[in-house]
Amino acid sequence: MKIILDNGHGRETKGKRSPVWPDGSQLLEYEFNRHVVQIIKQELDKLFIPNIILVPEENDISLKERCERANKIYQQENKKAFLISVHANAGGGTGWECFTSVGQTESDVIAAYIFAAANRVLPDIRFRKDFTDGDPDKEAHFYILRKTQCPAVLTENLFMDNEKDCKFLMTLEGVKKIALLHVQGIQNYLKTLENE
């Protein structure tokens, strides 16, 4: 099983940044996403879990191109791959959430494991859940979730326009914890496949 790691957005993507805080600091989402994904990759490598970074470039790669890359990897791996797209949220709010495409698929199973890991790693964080269909992930028509042939999960890791959330994301501890919850979720999901 190969894990496809998507670090959303690029250097020039408009608007994907926090406000400039009173101390002059600012989070750029493309940097945060890449930092988290790099740590996830390092940890998966230590665990000998096959993985690939979907967008090694710093410039923005279109959603269409990302999905084409993911689908090619999925086909090359004999349909033994899934994608995790890592983001920081914005829009006035707080907390952590996870998205899958509409309907019940293997993506929902993977998301549940990542959610469980997030609950353990970030016990003091608000979780934004939707149990309408019996599991905690939210369903959305995001392009990356709809157009990938493989199971796909998108995580929104706190709000970069909320000062408290953002300040946590700007620390090494925060980045490591966000990466860790992904790694633990991946590990626990893969363990269930070994037992099948």
Domain assignment of residue 166, yes or no: yes
Domain assignment of residue 186, yes or no: yes
Contact partners, residue 28, CB within 8 Å, separation at least 6: 11, 16, 17, 18
pLDDT digits (tens, 9 = 90+) for 120-178: 999 999 999 888 888 899 999 999 999 999 999 999 999 999 999 999 999 999 999 99
Domain assignment of residue 57, yes or no: yes
Q: Which of the two residues, 194 and 116, has the higher pLDDT score?
A: 116
Residue 121: CATH number of its domain: 3.40.630.40
Domain assignment of residue 156, yes or no: yes
The answer to whether the CB of 164 falls within 8 A of the CB of 93 is: no
Give one DSSP letter per residue of 12-39, joined into a string: T-TT-BPPPPTTS---BHHHHHHHHHHH
Domain assignment of residue 97, yes or no: yes
The answer to whether the CB of 100 falls within 8 A of the CB of 71 is: no
Q: Give the structural domain span for 41.
A: 2-11+25-194
Domain assignment of residue 19, yes or no: no
Domain assignment of residue 64, yes or no: yes
Give one DSSP letter per residue of 117-146, joined into a string: HHHHH-TTS-B----TTSSSSEE---HHHH
Cα 110 to Cα 105: distance, rounded to the nearest angstrom? 9
Structure tokens at 162: 């909320």
Q: Positive or negative CA dihedral for 47, 48, 50, 56?
A: positive
Confirm whether pTM is higher than 0.85.
yes
Domain assignment of residue 118, yes or no: yes
